[in-house]
A and B are shown apart, each in its own frame.
Chain A
Amino acid sequence: MKQNTFYILAGIVGLIEVGLFYLSVEYRNPMLITGAFIIGVLLLYAAQRRITDRQVDERAALITQKAGVTTFTVFWVVFFATSLGSAVMGLGAPGFPHSSPPPKGGPGVLNVSLNSPDAGPGIPDAGAGVPNDGLIRLGYFGYIQLALLFLMFFLYVGFRIYYARKYGEWETDEEQD
């Protein structure tokens, strides 16, 4: 197995884990994600032992380093942007100590809560045991962040290919074939 194939496999396994985590929460079944996580780690451990093109020289190290730093930079920006969104959701959620209602007629449509006057009659108050909308959305941001984390594996492979090409991989010469 090639090294890049391993990273793609790691990304796929990670995304499956996020899906199983979602199902685990939906079905209130902690064993599902616990078991899946252990199986996922074992699978990646077995796959990692099958990597055949593990090259350790200065050029390979440079490619790994460049791809890692660039992926981290992109990850930082994307993760920070997502975290900003989740902070707005969390701080604006009804029931949060410092939350205030969104301005009337303003753009604050993201924070429509179950106990707002728009929600209509008969809907119980958020403090009465019903999870409020803002907090539910905050949970979904967690899923997005987890998915982003594992999507970075694919980005990392992309950057590895880019830098490998930049530093002479797949150049043709007289000794090929």
Chain B
Amino acid sequence: MKTTASFLLLWISTLLTGASLSAQSANELRFSIHSFPKTFDPVLVDDDASETIRYLTGGVLIRINRESQRLEPELATGWKLSRDGRTITFTLRDGLRFSDGTGFGVADVAYTMNHLMDADLHSPTGDAFRVGEGKIAVKVLTANQVAITFPAAVVGLERLFDQVAIMSQSSPRKEMAVLGPYMVDEAKPGAVIVLKRNPNYWKVDSAGHHLPYISAIRLDVQPNRDLELIRFLRGEIHFINSLDAEYFEKVKAENPAAARNAGTSLDSEQMWFNQVPTAPLPAYKKIWFGSKSFRRAVSEAINRNDLARVVFRGHAQPAIGPFSPANQFWFNTALRPHPYDPTSARARLAAEGFYWRDGALYDSSGNRVEFSVVTNAGNRYREQMATLIQQDLSDVGIKLNVVTLDFPSLIERITRSFNYEACLLGLVNVDLDPNSEMNVWLSSAENHQWNPRQTSPATDWEADIDRLMRAQASSLDDRRRKQLFDQVQAIVWDQEPFLYLVNKDALAAIRPELHNVQPVVFRPQVYWNIEWLTLNAVVATRQ
């Protein structure tokens, strides 16, 4: 009996402890991704995890320096844009090889571009290059020069190549043959991906040492953010790339040096009213939502500073418009956040014929001003923001109901049935150039959320935005484009189709043993300079 009991105890203790311990290499960087990548094909990337793999393994012709936001040569030593903006000519670096030893040359660039622009693939990266009707033409000029011609001028063309990982035309390993600092060594679906150093990576440091410094990266698939934080605090992972404000405070309390705030990010949280004419809403509500004064009054009744202070623990700033000040070139510096001013909000509403009875607001037809805002369930920050907005609006007599929906149901409402009154969501800015937001600002666009797919602009100011956006998209002069987009930002600020609420800070948690880290606001915030990161303090001092 005693022997059986001892055996049972031993078995239980083995089970309890055995699985949590795993061998970890000293020069292995570990962090979490929140889902398994949908693809390893760089052309088909449309999710965060695949984007991470593409960034770490893909070699690109031009890279945007995430810190300076300027372009830097990578596989191309130089490039030249034609005067009409349709043709870009690259001069390639000589003697480079893919991770499997296959040589790199102009044929690979041609192959990648043709694969990228294959209309049947519906590549999100390829879509950014798609202008006008017709196909691209790739012409090999010399052994190391290649010219790519588009059917029409593509504004901000060079920047788009930051997302184009060059694939090998001849390698039998297809997309697994890469030119970036790392290559996929092992992939256990749903669980882990291990990357190892690409032996043929071309970069060296000033002392002639081959980059990258870190020999392997282990990416654990961890969908649960709470467990990710616990693993960070235990020292099982080296960093968390994007951290919520509450978790940031926890990290700061445990280890102040590990909590890193890179400043205001490019992402925004915003609210909008449903202005779709065919939406199944009462006519009087459509009148409210279509009224600039009503939208401005609601905006002025919201205390954005409180949202930033209470919901984001001070790690956010009141938002101004489509781009945050972090977008150094394109942000319109003349604009300021809408002030919290309930008195002005009341005045605007009164001027529109609204009136108050027993503290509640009514429109000129006697309808009680009450509407609901939908947001995605499980996002506690949005739920908290909605609650604070509910309180703010009650101060001016508006009754706000908060409805949380799971994401597919929410998307169905805002894109198909239009059975909603207001929506609170966030926008992730993955590109600095306003051209990437054509699908938001054109009145005919799918993502013109407040009233998508218009056959002709419903309002004069939307017609103005259409005109300005098209004008900036057809100009190759960045200064001229900036002037035009400044006007778009000013119209959006004035009309408030989106009530921009806050821009969150780019927060990260980084363990002290990881050196050379310079977190930035642009994705990927922590590992943008992956080649230079090191777990070795001696190597770090070489920089």
Partners in one complex: no
Contact residues of A with B, CB < 8 Å? Answer: none
